[in-house]
Chains A and B, each alone.
Chain A
């Protein structure tokens, strides 16, 4: 038999295997040669903007961009020839010629692609000189800060915002050396169509786009002896925080984190997965009501604040479809200030309520005017996972030596269903488990809904609940969401329930998450959440005893008047747009 011949390409004199569809860059990556890039985004068509990834064609000495050039049998390339290294170094030097050079004060210090490249290529003095850029820093958005001076115009934010998220809040403007990234008409970010998802922050190789930090507000509160500082941590945080401390992706360190948070000085540590369970009770009730009483369908989830802002901006006609439930963060914030404070006999104004979220848009959500109940804001400050890591490092805590502990009761008890909120499809899975129980009085035979756990951008299922066939779907990534939303707009859709998460893959890939080098980090985080669901016993929200107690003692029943007052919200069409 003839052996199948594998195609190869010659790299530095040796043959490496190539597959159909490979670019030079991807083929080299598989062969263990990681060519540096500044503009490449995995999964999107190459743009070829940064030219850092050039390699030399031995045939004619030409430099070709490896990110966009198809790998082929005929090619023979040098990846680190004198010419290649000189070109890469010069390009980095060109970028540094007018860079602000304030690395020590930069949010991305030691975590900056440009800094790393300069170091790798041995840039040790300023060969090419020009005037430093100083530009106005846009601090208008509660979620994201933009410093155009540090921008290297790689365009990753533009492509992420347009091609992945379908928002297009940012684009190139100007020409030639005056090119810059700007919003439409150069208005500030808070007035733009930006939904604060923070995917651009994750994509940004430098410190040009960062979250608006609340670390100092939190530290001040902790240091204030008058304040009782409580913190809640979102489901996706505990399965990704480890990466910030050099551990492998996909390890759940909820216990370690709880102790560390206490060491940092938080008086109480709560779990947002508790209020995820609470959300399920309210949301499942609302869904059942909408279905049985002829409400607006499909009902859409409301946990994701950037999705909510996206709808308010681009799909105001669909606002009645969005569940009136507040997000778990806001629900817990509200319960802390209105229920727990009474229970603990702590005056509301003494409580400083912090959340740590995988998200930048949560910073925007806490500032929404609807998120104030009875004159008190539900949450006082929201940190990202990255900020939490900084806070822990600042307190010199050795995470390897921390003895794990539990989150504080009553809001430390959770079901694994609440924990599933961290991954796309999780809200749906948890909601179906409880809705089934609410209507039939019995548990689903098989709690794990595998149809919701595949990696498709859009997943649809139909569940038979008594006589009713409930059709539900899950979508993540706002660009993907647009497709189904357009169908709903034209009534070309018979769904009952739709879960939408802004970030592709859900909160585990949120805009506030660690910038992992591991390409599979998101999948590993997801698997960690599924492992928790598999290994623990308490798998449904409605059996969370703390939830049951909360309803018994305070809220009465899901959808009650009190629940509506404290746990539900409203939305409005955003008209402050040009």
Chain B
């Protein structure tokens, strides 16, 4: 194998299936069988004129990609230059958005970072002169057909991309997400066609089980085995649901996958539906993802038009149609039985299991619920075969996992790594470590259901079982990095607040327990000064209950949300006990985050008596005469920090 390919973090694009094109030609598919020229054009192996790709996922648009694109069009019109402009999804490196890629005929595609509107003119000026502005370059893609740019680093060598293995994200940020012909030209729908024409439903389930693919939504249950439960049920109606109700704070994998490559998900869903024998499906997606929803609608229209969804798919006799159901943004609706209730038009509250949805789910019928990433893995599994998929990863965790890397890390964004990659590699190699020379403290993985990975466990591997041993979970893939300035009690408090607000309110332990845990955490981060004796007693009593309460909530709650809700507290208690102790006994916040526990002080020797701080203090808590050291009346101080900002001598400190 070519050495360059071996190093490629992107999986090779598949080849277009001529048999599929033959079938599709019955429906007037624009790409005709044997039309290799068009395929080359669609895969951009050959281009007639420059192509400008604008990263227009939600992250790109948020960073200003809309204005960038507008400015590019203006530039082209003004300078009478011709180029194709293509909006692509997110390539993953969110911190470098807006990303603009430019491909000039004969040369490899090259990616430029942080191209906000004002950088468009200098960038394009240079490009059309044949100069590459080095400071804006992210890297160049590799291609066997095009000539490499000299002295431009390869994107594959970029530390953010090099350690990745992009299977699910292979098209994200590369292709036009709204073009079905582009998707097909890169081997899209070949897996489905093969599955529908060459395999029985049983073989589909068998293949998926053999591949070792596990649910990417959190639990990590074998996808193939789950399907077999539903496939084994006798029912005139079965359902497939795609769970795209991504609600964890710091998680945006599903959104990016849908925005960047919606057809992959749709193809995966038809394969899954065929495997379990479902004729109707839903994509349950949160209404807060308008762009993803819009792109799904456009994609759906196209696949329906070409007979890739609906009645008699690709003439195989298999029928499956699906509809998009928008959720109203309740975190609990990510829980499968609550999601089912929501689709049924009921309040999103979970139901007891058993019966499991695979036996009795939506409208009482056998239902399989998979998340976006799981389903998007399927085309790859069938393209490469289960053995290939199974050969990657660890003993019990196969394939790759997508993470949404965010927080105190140099490079944030969407990353896909092989199972077994260490957290350290993700944070320090891909993410580039902690900015501003701060120290790493923890990585929160798995959102409100997950836990923290302290420094001592950084070598832990991305693996369903291994993560559990340190009190974390794989979860859906949120990975938030925290540095030394983060207070772990505050982090636990944040998640408990989130949960007590997002609990559905049905079962007592989750509804009442999380609220009480939140109150206890609040009490230990609250100012001691205004505390009455009773409150002090309550506070200590509460602290004594915290762990016990957590255990009861875990063991008795109705659904996954409640059963994992105490994890952020248990995990921080396990690894950062000393921080809790400092809050409880010393009434200090070591990270200096919990404001109520801070004491503001003026260092007498440094204070010049300039009176600036006293003038800035909004509550008149700073006293003193000019040219003599000032002092802070602690009882009055509201810890707003205005004095610290005001002091030109750095004489005010907190402790």
Residues of A within 8 A of B (CB): 38, 46-52, 54, 62-63, 65, 67-70, 83, 86-87, 90-91, 94-95, 97-98, 127-130, 152-153, 155, 171-172, 174-179
Contact = CB atoms under 8 A, between A and B. Distances in A.
Contacts of A97: 512, 516
B505 A69 contact: no
B197 interface: no
B516 A128 contact: yes
12 contacts: A46-B352, A47-B352, A49-B508, A94-B509, A98-B512, A128-B549, A153-B505, A153-B511, A172-B349, A172-B505, A175-B503, A178-B501
A543 to B, nearest CB: 53
Interface in B326-359: 330, 347, 349, 351-352, 354
Nearest to A67: B352
A48 B538 CA distance: 31
Contacts of A70: 354
Interface in B490-514: 499-509, 511-514
B545 to A, nearest CB: 6
Contacts of A67: 352
Contact of B505 (A46, A48, A52, A174): A174
Given A62-B555, A90-B548, A171-B347, A130 B515 contact: yes
Interface residues of B, number: 35
Closest 5 CB pairs of A and B: A179-B505, A48-B352, A68-B352, A177-B515, A94-B512
Contact of A94 (B354, B502, B508): B508
A46 B545 CA distance: 30
A6 to B, nearest CB: 23
A152 to B, nearest CB: 7
Contacts of A63: 555-556
Given A51-B557, A83-B555, A175 B502 contact: yes
Contacts of B509: 51, 90-91, 94
B524 interface: no
Contacts of A65: 352, 558
A52 B556 CA distance: 9
A50 B511 CA distance: 10
Contacts of B507: 48-51
Contacts of B352: 46-48, 65, 67-69
B512 A95 contact: yes
Contacts of A152: 508
Interface of B: 330, 347, 349, 351-352, 354, 499-509, 511-516, 519, 538, 541-542, 545, 548-549, 552, 555-558
B517 to A, nearest CB: 10
B544 to A, nearest CB: 9
Contacts of A50: 507-508
A54 B557 CA distance: 10
B506 A49 contact: yes
A98 B519 CA distance: 12
A156 to B, nearest CB: 13
B74 to A, nearest CB: 46
B445 to A, nearest CB: 23
A129 B523 CA distance: 12
Contacts of B347: 171-172
Nearest to A61: B555
B571 to A, nearest CB: 21
A81 B501 CA distance: 32
Contacts of B504: 175-176, 179
B556 A51 contact: yes
A95 B558 CA distance: 16
Contacts of B330: 175
A247 B295 CA distance: 69
Contacts of B519: 130
Nearest to A127: B545
B552 A176 contact: no
Given A128-B516, A176-B511, 20 more contacts: A47-B352, A49-B507, A50-B507, A50-B508, A51-B556, A51-B557, A54-B556, A67-B352, A69-B352, A70-B354, A87-B555, A87-B556, A90-B549, A91-B509, A91-B556, A94-B513, A128-B545, A130-B515, A175-B501, A176-B515
A178 B506 CA distance: 11
A130 B522 CA distance: 12
Contacts of B511: 153, 176-177, 179
B65 to A, nearest CB: 34
A94 B516 contact: yes
B503 A176 contact: yes
Contacts of A171: 347
B518 to A, nearest CB: 8
Nearest to A131: B519
Contacts of A48: 351-352, 507, 558
Most buried by B among A38, A95, A127: A127
A63 B40 CA distance: 59
Contacts of A51: 507-509, 556-558
B537 to A, nearest CB: 9
Contacts of A86: 552
A564 B513 CA distance: 60
A90 B512 CA distance: 11
A68 B507 CA distance: 14
A176 B502 contact: yes
Contact of B500 (A129, A174, A177): A177
Nearest to A69: B354
Contacts of A54: 555-556
Question: Most chain-A Cβ atoms within 10 A of its Cβ — which of B499, B513, B549, B555?
Answer: B555
A177 B545 contact: no
A129 B501 contact: no
Nearest to B512: A94
Nearest to A172: B347
Contacts of A46: 352
Contacts of B538: 129
Nearest to B332: A175
Nearest to B562: A51
Contacts of B545: 127-128
A152 B354 CA distance: 25
A130 B516 contact: yes
Contacts of A176: 499-505, 511, 514-515
Nearest to B505: A179
Contacts of B548: 90
A218 B386 CA distance: 80
